[in-house]
Structure 1
Amino acid sequence: MSKQIHEFNDIIRKLRKNLFGKGPERIHTVFVNEMAISTLHGNLSPSEEFIARTPEGREMVHAARTRMIQSVYAEAAPEGMEELVGAKFIHLFSDIKVEDDIAVSVFLFDRPIDQKADSGGKIDGAR
């Protein structure tokens, strides 16, 4: 895993830990064109796992997690994210499958972020 992706995953993990009290146990991220696509495993807190034992509870956890994370990203990109990828954050698309404790987040930026980083940490072609 590249250092840039590792740092990107750390930003995601810290934000979610601060927001939900528990960050994902494992994150896999790929950069494709102007998107960062992250698969997050082990997201739910013990309280959320308990609530999610019923269909109504699963729906409640799903709605709360999805709306809460989207509202946070709608306000502003997490600190350091735009600088790390060399592009302006535009929008987050996010969903979670509560039964399997797997979430997917697609981060959309204003320009391609999938180019190789040079030794100075800037993205080739970024201005």
Structure 2
Amino acid sequence: MDKNYALDAFAALSQSTRLDVFRLLIQAGDTGMSAGEIGEALNVRQNTMSANLSILARSGLIRSAREGRSIRYFAAMEGIRGLLAFLMEDCCGGRPELCQPFLNEIACTCVTPTPERLT
């Protein structure tokens, strides 16, 4: 992950509703949630939710899958792992291989990782 990608991810998470959406999708795990379910859970209007989901998807922190006429959203664990790895890149005196056990431990595998992005 490069610096610009990390900045996009942090910018996406720097807004209250988007942070709430991201945390909610982490909790939902591999079942994910539809945009309507997310909006209802957070009491956010559909058009506002759509804009926030789009920003999170472009940042690589969430992914989507079409289910008939609706779209289900999931936390994108690969994007989360990439962001964590970027943050830890220079730890341990610039020897990231020493931090790998820690990164492996904190990288939740409860959601199937995928590099998919909503475009």
Does TM, normalized by the shorter one, top 0.5?
no
- Scaled by the length of structure 2, what TM-score is found? 0.29
Instruction: Point out the structure with the larger strand share.
Output: 1
